[in-house]
Amino acid sequence: MCAAGLAAGSVGSLAGLAQESGSADGPRYVNATDLVRPDDYRQWTFLSSSLDMTYDAPGARSGPSLFQNVFVNPSSYRAFLENGRWPDETIFVLEIRASSREGAINDAGQFQADLVALEAEVKDDRFADGWAFYDFGAAGSLRETAEPLSGDRVAPCIACHTEHTAVERTFVQFYPTLLEAARRAGTLKPGF
Ligand code: HEC
């Protein structure tokens, strides 16, 4: 079976499972922990965009700017607005896009262009640590499913997403509507 068929089949059967556990729009897996790439994340809740907040050391990257767009499944967004915490089975997508100036009406402006890469993160108690990180690869050859990153590949994700995040493993300090909700609920880490 081709990868697309495999993914489509598993989405059907696992959607039922996800519903039973209360989050119909949450993460879907094959082989228990491989994440199926959500193809509808552009219909989820948009948290924010940033420009050039890529993870390289300062000065390491040259070339055109990159945008990063963050999306979360809508039921988890609603839950966070109520109590400032992420429920189990929350999924985030980080979409990296090229920037362009060509055709802009002014000189200084930049707008978002082609997809560059997709990453994801889930909060799910099926993982010993409660969280997992995924890389679906580069545009043009995006994987239908991705294994949870492990070893050296996940270490930087965990380190940065633990030391520098405002709520749990997420950068709520950069998501304006959530920052307010976390402030109201008192769930910000000390220092935020
Ligand atoms: C040096 C710090 C750093 C490292 C390393 C890092 N991230 Fe992030 N990540 C960020 C920042 C900052 C944001 C906030 C959004 C933005 O930059 O646009 C973010 C946001 C995210 C989000 C959106 C949800 C959230 O947590 O706020 C996902 C998904 C994500 N990163 C995945 C990954 C994955 C997968 C890895 C490892 C391959 C990784 N990140 C490594 C800094 C980091």
Per-domain boundaries in the chain: 3-148
CA of 120, closest atom in ligand 1: 29
Task: Using the predicted structure, report yes or no on whether residue 14 has a pLDDT greater than 80.
Answer: no
Compute the distance between CA of residue 17 and CA of residue 157 in angstroms, rounded to an integer: 28
28-45 confidence digits (pLDDT tens) = 999 999 999 999 999 999
CA of 134, closest atom in ligand 1: 35
Q: Whose CA is nearest to atom 3 of ligand 1?
A: 160
Our answer on whether the CB atom of 126 is closer than 6 Å to any ligand 1 atom is: no
CA of 119, closest atom in ligand 1: 35
Burial class (CB in 10 A: 0-12, 13-18, 19+), 132: buried
Planar angle of CA 35, 86, 48, nearest 5 degrees: 80
Q: For the domain bounded by 3-148, which CATH number is listed?
A: 3.50.70.20
- According to the model, what pLDDT value does residue 117 have? 96
Q: Could you give the strand order of the β-sheet that contains 145-146, starting from the edge strand earlier in sequence?
A: 29-30, 34-36, 145-146
- According to the model, what pLDDT value does residue 189 have? 98
